Amino acid sequence: MSTHTVTVAEGDGIGPEITEAVLRVLEAAQAPLRYEQVELGAREYERGHTSGIGPDAWDTIRRNGTLLKAPITTPQGGGYKSLNVTLRKSLGLFANVRPTKSYAPFVASPHPGMDIVIVRENEEDLYAGIEHQQTAEVTQVLKLITRPGTEKIVRFAFEYARAYGRRKVTCMTKDNIMKHTDGLFHRVFDEVAAEYPDLEADHQIIDIGAARLAAQPERFDVIVTLNLYGDILSDIAGQIAGSVGFAGSANVGREISMFEAVHGSAPDIAGRGIANPSGLLVAATQMLVHLGEGATAERIKNAWLTTLESGIHTADMYRPDLSQREVGTADFADAVIARLGQEPRHLRPVRYGQQPRLRVTSTPVPRGVKHLVGVDVFLDWAPEDRDPDLLGKRIEAAVAPLGWDLKLITNRGVKVYPDGFPETALTDHWRCRFLPADGDATTLPDVLSVVAALHDAGLEPIKTEHLYTFDGERGYSLGQGE
Ligand code: NAD
């Protein structure tokens, strides 16, 4: 049997207590693991590493490929970066996998039938962190959705569902509004779903989907979604399952994966020996399955389920009517160790067997035929009387000699010229859409001449977006009323 070397970060707050408990359980179960400890979090922030991680820890994590991470405390205030976001993005951890299950009737839960897995895209979307302010009144963020990134996460979700004996994968997007970004995610989902005829696939708009998840989580199985929606859905799911202390999460990349509890460092109870180590223990079982040690994961998880059934509960899950004995972190770990080899009688035992490594390919995207067909120029314009007709006429006069048409002006996406409504609220941020008057494809120098003409007319272009077609398909959304 080969031994896997795992990097362990014991984190802050309750981190060291729960890490100690989890490592004891792993050892008692004879998990074939060796550990290398690294420091992450508060002390590293204090040493001046603004992301909470130093160079040695990076080396160790990258060398070993597997990280078991206890929660860390993120310092308040400016200048500090989230360690989790840094780890996910730097190490290519593209999939965040959060199983959420109810353990009723042994742990109180409003949704006893809940057993879902949220697969959240982890690298893209609004979390790319590309934000700008270009006028006094308006800020913006760039939402990036890529075809390869989407294919990778969607394929991962289907492979996961198949490997873990799940029936259905639900995609959630807001593609009724964001037809290009969320629309791409939905389209790729439909394409990939066709390759998995043994699994049910459906799509729900995120708002109603989230509402249904909160009301009837038992209707869902695997959910795959974009980064921000997944962030919110995971917390909803964790909350309605019953206790924050139970959920583990895996952050999976091609070479490196990280496993952690969903909860934070709980500074309010740190050092008292009463924290529930279950979240990190469940994460450790996810890690074992990932490393191909399903049999050991199964032994630990079933011993843990048996412990829950026995009514041996930490303070966060203790209920006089459901629990037999309230224990601290170390005694809870001892109770799990004492039950290694046992199977739960009421809760369903887990069966992992030997999971294959999940296949996550993405198909090369053909370059296709791309034409530049126009440009959106954004202006900062804030005279006392913000009359869109005045702006429109001034722009038309500036670009007409170049053979370009001003197609429309929008303000926060609402058409204000031509034929706007006086009721529309106006900011200092104007999107002006230009198309060549002859309707043909254009060139970058021509686009630049439009921008220069606006500048020469005393206006202030702050940003441009080129309008392209791809194999004749429009690569931009139409303006309202266009
Ligand atoms: P938290 O999850 O630490 O605590 C919320 C509540 O749940 C607290 O009352 C806490 O006592 C309780 N709780 C959490 N885990 C528990 C456990 N295992 N057993 C028993 N009770 C438990 O969330 P918070 O208070 O918002 O955040 C505290 C710190 O943790 C912050 O600095 C935050 O940034 C950080 N945090 C880190 C991670 C991470 O490292 N992955 C995740 C979330 C929050």
pLDDT tens digits for 213-265? Answer: 999 999 999 999 999 999 999 989 988 887 667 889 999 998 999 999 989 99
Buried b (16+ CB within 10 A) or exposed e, 333-353: bbbbbebbebbbeebeebebe
Is residue 336 domain-shared with residue 437, that is, in the same domain?
Answer: no
Give residue 385's domain range.
370-474
Asked if residue 99 belongs to a domain, the reply is: no
Counting from 1 in the atom list of ligand 1, the atom nearest the Cα of 71 is 40
Question: pLDDT confidence of 164, banded at 50, 70, 90?
Answer: confident
Q: pLDDT at position 1, please?
A: 65
Q: What is the mean pLDDT of residues 369-397?
A: 97
Asked if residue 416 belongs to a domain, the reply is: yes
Asked if residue 84 belongs to a domain, the reply is: yes
Q: What is the mean pLDDT of residues 433-443?
A: 91
Q: What is the CATH number of the domain that holds 62?
A: 3.40.718.10
Which among 479, 364, 374, 482 has a CA at the least distance from the CA of 431?
Answer: 479
Residues with CB under 6 A from ligand 1: 14, 71-74, 84, 244-245, 260, 263-269, 275-276, 279, 316
How far is Cα 237 from Cα 217, in angstroms, rounded to an integer? 8
User: How many alpha carbons fall within 13 Å on the CB side of residue 180?
Assistant: 11
Which of the pair, 259 or 354, is modelled with greater confidence? 259
Which among 168, 264, 297 has a CA at the least distance from the CA of 220?
Answer: 168
Asked if residue 102 belongs to a domain, the reply is: no
Residue type, 233: L
Q: What is the CATH number of the domain that holds 427?
A: 3.30.70.1570
Is residue 133 domain-shared with residue 70, that is, in the same domain?
Answer: no
Is residue 116 domain-shared with residue 150, that is, in the same domain?
Answer: yes
Of 10, 244, 249, the one to substitute when testing ligand 1's pocket (max ligand atoms within 8 A of C-beta) is: 244
Residue whose Cα lies nearest atom 38 of ligand 1: it is 264
The Å distance, Cα 263 to ligand 1 centre, comes to: 5
- Provide, rounded to the nearest whole percent, the portion of the chain with pLDDT above 90: 81
Asked if residue 391 belongs to a domain, the reply is: yes
Is residue 85 domain-shared with residue 124, that is, in the same domain?
Answer: no
Residue whose Cα lies nearest atom 23 of ligand 1: it is 264
Asked if residue 443 belongs to a domain, the reply is: yes
Is residue 233 domain-shared with residue 267, that is, in the same domain?
Answer: no
In this structure, are strands 66-69 and 4-9 parallel, antiparallel, or unpaired?
A: parallel
Q: pLDDT at position 106, please?
A: 84
Q: Which of 77-86, 104-113, 143-152, 438-447 has the highest mean predicted lDDT (pLDDT)?
A: 143-152
Hey, which bits of 147-244 come out as E strands? 168-173, 200-205, 222-225
Is the pLDDT confidence value at 177 over 80?
Answer: yes
Q: What is the pTM of this model?
A: 0.90
Asked if residue 250 belongs to a domain, the reply is: no
Whether the Cβ atoms of residue 156 and residue 118 lie closer than 8 Å to each other: no
Is the pLDDT confidence value at 104 over 90?
Answer: no
Is the pLDDT confidence value at 358 over 80?
Answer: no
The Å distance, Cα 225 to ligand 1 centre, comes to: 24
Is residue 230 domain-shared with residue 282, that is, in the same domain?
Answer: no
The region of weakest confidence among 105-114, 155-164, 338-347, 464-473 is 105-114
Final residue of a structural domain among 212, 241, 270: 241
Q: pLDDT at position 150, please?
A: 96
Is residue 85 domain-shared with residue 116, that is, in the same domain?
Answer: no
Is residue 234 domain-shared with residue 121, that is, in the same domain?
Answer: yes
Is residue 192 domain-shared with residue 307, that is, in the same domain?
Answer: no
Question: pLDDT confidence of 25, banded at 50, 70, 90?
Answer: very high
The Å distance, Cα 28 to ligand 1 centre, comes to: 27
How far is Cα 242 from Cα 295, in angstroms, rounded to an integer? 28
Is residue 227 domain-shared with residue 119, that is, in the same domain?
Answer: yes
Total domains, the chain: 3
Is residue 236 domain-shared with residue 126, that is, in the same domain?
Answer: yes
Torsion of CA 221, 222, 224, 227, to 10 degrees: 90
Q: pLDDT at position 129, please?
A: 80
Residue whose Cα lies nearest atom 43 of ligand 1: it is 264
The Å distance, Cα 245 to ligand 1 centre, comes to: 9
Is the pLDDT confidence value at 406 over 90?
Answer: yes
Asked if residue 249 belongs to a domain, the reply is: no
Q: pLDDT at position 354, please?
A: 61
Is residue 218 domain-shared with residue 168, that is, in the same domain?
Answer: yes
